[in-house]
Amino acid sequence: MAGKLTSQGTGILLATANVGSLFEDPVNLQKTWLREFYQTVHTHKPHFVALHCQEVGGKNYEESMTHVDSFIKELLSSDAMKEYSRARVYLDENYKSQEHFTALGCCYFIHESLKNIHQFDFKAKKFKKVVGKEIYSDTLESTPMVEKEKFPQDYFPECKWSRKGFIRTRWALGDCAFDLVNIHLFHDASNLVAWENSPSVYSGTRQKALGYVLDRITDQRYDKVPYFLFGDFNFRLDSKQVIESLCSTATMQTVRAADTNEVDKLIFRESDNDRKVVLQLEKKLFNYIDQDVFRENNGTLLLEFDKELSVFKERLHELEISFPPSYPYSEDCSQGKQYMNTRCPAWCDRILLSTSARELVLKPETEEKSIIYDNIGPNVCMGDHKPVFLSFRLTAGAGKPNANKHKCCVVQ
């Protein structure tokens, strides 16, 4: 009975991972990464695993795509995942198609004990039983089991061929249907630009793109179902406010480029204390004197500067964050807890829930300890992003109209 929607429920594990680093240094990083991922699966024993990856193939994807295939083969054939008898993998590997390429990857694993699972065909508009293991890559545009979009070019004109967009799949467990959306939003191109205004110009771009996705996945084309949105949102702390807080007693020196007279560097020094440098800020440098502030109490003191989600508080929900900022970690294998001095650490990687999805997860009878929102591999190097996961149980009848006012799709 383990895999059926019993009173204990069906174990669900959702995980998001920006895996770009893994393909820059596959020999050292992949083994550790996979070990930590398998350990998470082993600990929570889910019946259904959804792994959303961003930057599949890394920054130099033309050279690295061969490593992607071995990474996926290892995931599908490993001993750790042998009880997951069915799988669906969707990889956007077609980097030659610049107008479509998102570098997103979605991997779904279904435990042998889970009997009643279907996936939605967006073209036929009906659910189909999931059998066997299948991998789809290259042209996901022609795969009716996913909906994939890249953001319009004018959303982020600074980045000519930005690999940002989303992939959506729809699933039904028993009588409960839900969408899983893999998303990658725009980054902060320059620390100096990010600090100019509060909120920053970049947060406005992300807000526009996220609004676009929400409107797209809740439009009239398909029945509305609960949805889980997880990926690399690139949400950053409000740069101006966090720097004013960290450097409240410091004086600022502005260094300009000799040829253009543009601001090249900001140096914040203590007013006394031998005018010690507290923070150096450049386009791609954020060198703060004391990294512990981002790790103490999991960085929760800085959550007040994490504001980008507040715009969507009526539509999106998140469980309480109790893990340190997920980015940018050192890619040095011996520095598992160290941040790089490139960006202000931030919670870029998130798992967000629609109102109806939150009702599925947080049912009145749910025990608190059965829901866990955390990161993977806190003490080892997982690349520049720590993966983030949500583990919970879907209980029987979760999708029935009388149990949930948001009626789920009917499985055909």
pLDDT of 39-48, one tens digit each? 999 999 999 9
Q: How far apart are CA 104 and CA 93, in angstroms?
A: 8
User: Any residues with CB less than 8 A from the CB of 273 and at least 6 apart, and which?
Assistant: none
Burial class of residue 157 in the structure, from the number of CB atoms within 10 Å of its CB (0-12 exposed, 13-18 middle, 19+ buried): exposed
Considering only CA atoms, which of 178, 214, 209 is closest in space to residue 14? 178
pLDDT at 268: 97
| Ranges 18-22, 75-79, 156-160: which has the least confidence | 156-160
Residue owning tokens 């909906």: 147
Q: What type of residue sits at position 17? A: A
- Helices then strands (H, E): number in the chain? 7, 18
Q: 144-196: per-residue pLDDT in tens? A: 999 999 988 777 666 655 789 999 999 999 889 999 999 999 999 999 999 99
Residue owning tokens 């009975």: 1
Q: How far apart are CA 184 and CA 270, in angstroms?
A: 38
Phi, psi of 73 (to 5 degrees): -60, -40
Of 408 and 66, which is predicted with more confidence? 66
Q: How far apart are CA 140 and CA 73, in angstroms?
A: 19
pLDDT at 369: 73
Q: 243-267: per-residue pLDDT in tens? A: 999 999 999 999 999 999 999 999 9
Residue owning tokens 């029945």: 223
**Residue 398 three-state SS:** coil
Asked whether the CA dihedral 156, 159, 160, 166 is positive or negative, the reply is: negative
* Residue 366: band (very low, low, confident or very high) from pLDDT cuts 50, 70, 90: low
Q: How far apart are CA 250 and CA 273, in angstroms?
A: 10
Q: Quick one: average pLDDT of 199-211?
A: 95
Q: 279-303: per-residue pLDDT in tens? A: 999 999 999 999 999 999 999 999 9
Asked whether the CA dihedral 364, 369, 370, 371 is positive or negative, the reply is: positive
Burial 55-85 (b: 16+ CB within 10 A, else e): bbbbeebeebbebbeebbeebbeeeebeebe
Q: Quick one: average pLDDT of 2-11?
A: 61
pTM over 0.75: yes
Q: What type of residue sits at position 2? A: A
**Residue 314 three-state SS:** coil
What pairing do the DSSP bridges indicate for beta strands 117-121 and 165-173? antiparallel
Domain 10-236+290-394, CATH class in plain words: alpha beta
pLDDT > 90: percent of the chain:
79
Q: Are 278 and 268 in contact (CB under 8 A)?
A: yes
24: left (phi over 0), alpha (psi -120 to 50) or beta: alpha
pLDDT at 156: 66
- Long-range pairs for 212-217 at CB < 8 Å and ≥24 separation? 212/151, 212/155, 213/166, 213/181, 213/183, 214/312, 214/315, 214/316, 216/149, 216/166, 217/168, 217/179, 217/181
